[in-house]
Amino acid sequence: MEVLEKYYRVLGLDEDATFAEVKVAYRKQAKKLHPQFNKSPSAQEDFVFLNEAYEFFLNQKARKSSKAQRSGKSLEINEKADSEWQAEVERARERAAQFAKMPYENFVESSFYKTTESLSVIADFLNISTAFFLVFGGPSIGYLWKGVYGLVGGLILVFVTTPLWAKVLIHKPTRIDFLELGKAILQVLGSKVLWLSLAYLFNFFIIVRIGFRTFIPLWGLFALLGGLIAGIYGLERKLKNYKLKAWLWGPAILNTFLLLNFSLSSHPVVESYAFIQGEQNHQYGRQKTTFIYLEGDQYAQYWGPRLFFDYKAMEDADLISYTIEHGFFGLRVVKAHEFKKTD
C-alpha cells in the first residue's frame, strides 16, 4: 500500500504508530502545514493530504478493523481497509480544502480539530499524574503507612511498574500545560454527548431509587415509561422535530412525577412485618438474595419495596419496619425502612 506509506510519512510516523500517536502528530503537522504558516507553493495540497491521512486513520479506528486497534497497539491497516477508504477519500479532501481556507485560529476551534485535542490533553495529564504517583507517591505513602517496610514495598512497586511509568515520562512532555488542560476540560464539559449520558444515568438512578420505593406494580412503572416514550416519539414524527429525544424526555417526565410524589409526601405511618429472604440457585447450592417475602403475602404485587441492596443490614434480621407516607399524587411511598431481629 504505497499510499499508506505516504500517510505515515506526512504525519512523520513509523508504521507501528498507535492511534494516540497519530492524533498528536496530526496536531503538530497541522500547524506546520496550514497555508497560514506554510508559504510553499504546494501548501494547500500539503495540508489537504495531511487531513486526508488523518481521516484515513480516524476512519479505520471507527471501524475497529483490527484486533490491534481495539487493544491500543499499532494500527496494522490492511489492503481491505485501503479499498474501503477509496469511497470516502474525495469527501475527506473536500473537507480538508475548506479547512485550508480558514484562518488557523478558526480551524483549531472547529469540532473536527477538537476531536484530536480534548481527550488527548486530559489523557496526557492523567498519564503523567499516574506516572508521578507511581514513582513518588507509592514509596511516600508506603513509608507513612508502614515505615521502612512500606518504603521498600513502594520501591518494589516502582521497579515492577517501570515499563509503564518510564514510557509515559519519556514520551510525554514533562511540563503540563494547565491552560490547554483547562480548555480541554471545558470542551468535554460542553459536549452534548457527555450531558446526554449524564441525563440518562440520572434518569436510571431516579427510577431505581425512587420508582422502586413507590407502591406501583413493576409492570405499571414500565408501562408508564413505555407510553411516554411512544407518545413523545409519535409527537416527534408528527412535528418532524427529531430533537425531542423521546428516550430522554420520556424517563425525565416520569421521574419528575415520581420525585414530586415522593418529595411532597405526608402523613407517615409505620408498618412492621415478618419476612423471609428469597433464594436462588447457585453453583455452590441455594443462596439467599436481598429480595424479601412479607408475611401473609403482604404487598406481593409490589416488587420495588421488597428489593434491597444492603445485604449486611438484613443478614440476621427477620422483621422489617416501613415508614410509609401518602404521596403528593396519591401513590404511597416508602420513606424509610429498618431491619430488626425479634427476640
Measured CA to CA, the distance from residue 51 to residue 64 in angstroms comes to 20
CATH number of 2-109: 1.10.287.110
Measured CA to CA, the distance from residue 246 to residue 258 in angstroms comes to 18
Q: Do residues 26 and 54 lie in contact, with contact meaning Cβ atoms separated by under 8 Å? A: yes
* Whole-number pLDDT of residue 55: 84
* Whole-number pLDDT of residue 83: 55
Measured CA to CA, the distance from residue 180 to residue 187 in angstroms comes to 10
Whole-Å CA distances, 273 to 199, 297, 342: 37, 10, 11
* Whole-number pLDDT of residue 206: 86
Measured CA to CA, the distance from residue 203 to residue 212 in angstroms comes to 13
* Whole-number pLDDT of residue 327: 94
Grid cell 469527501 — which residue? 91
- pTM (2 d.p.): 0.48
Low-confidence ranges of the chain (pLDDT < 70): 1, 61-87, 114-128, 164-165, 167-194, 241-244, 281-285
Grid cell for residue 257: 412525577
* Whole-number pLDDT of residue 56: 84
Residue range(s) of every CATH 1.10.287.110 domain in the chain: 2-109
